[in-house]
Amino acid sequence: MKTPFTLLAALSFVLIVAAAVVTGSLIAASPVLAATTAAGTLDPQALSWGLAAAAAATAFSSLAAGYAVAKVGTAAVGALAEKPELMARLLIFVGLAEGIAIYGLIVSILILNRLG
C-alpha cells in the first residue's frame, strides 16, 4: 500500500504539470495569442487563466509540501528518538518534502515570465 506522502507527492506533481500545460497551451498553442504576446498585449481572458494557473501551482504545491513535511517530520522525530545516528538521512527526507513547494514556485515563476 502506498503511503500518504507518496500519494500526496504524486498528486502535487500532477497538479503542477497540469497547470503548466494549461498555461502553455493558452499562450503558445494559439497563433493569435502568440502574435499578441510578441506585440506586447495579451488577451485578458488568457491573462486571467495564466494568473490562475500560477496561483494554483504555488498554492497546491505549498499545501502538499506542508502536509508532507508534517507527516515526514513527525516520523523523523520518532525515528531520531530511537536512533540518533539517522539524523543525516532523516534531514534528506524532510528536504525532499520541502522541495515540492520549491518546484511549484519555480513553475509559477515560469508561468508568470511567459505571460510577460
**Which residue is it, cell 515570465?**
113
Task: Read off φ and ψ for residue 83, nearest 5 degrees.
Answer: -135, 95
> What is the value of pTM for the model shown?
0.61
Rounded mean pLDDT, 92-104 = 89
Q: What is the pLDDT of residues 5-55, one digit of tens each?
A: 566 666 666 666 666 666 665 555 555 555 555 556 778 888 888 889 999
Task: Assess whether pLDDT exceeds 50 at residue 64.
Answer: yes
52, burial (CB in 10 Å: exposed 0-12, middle 13-18, buried 19+): middle
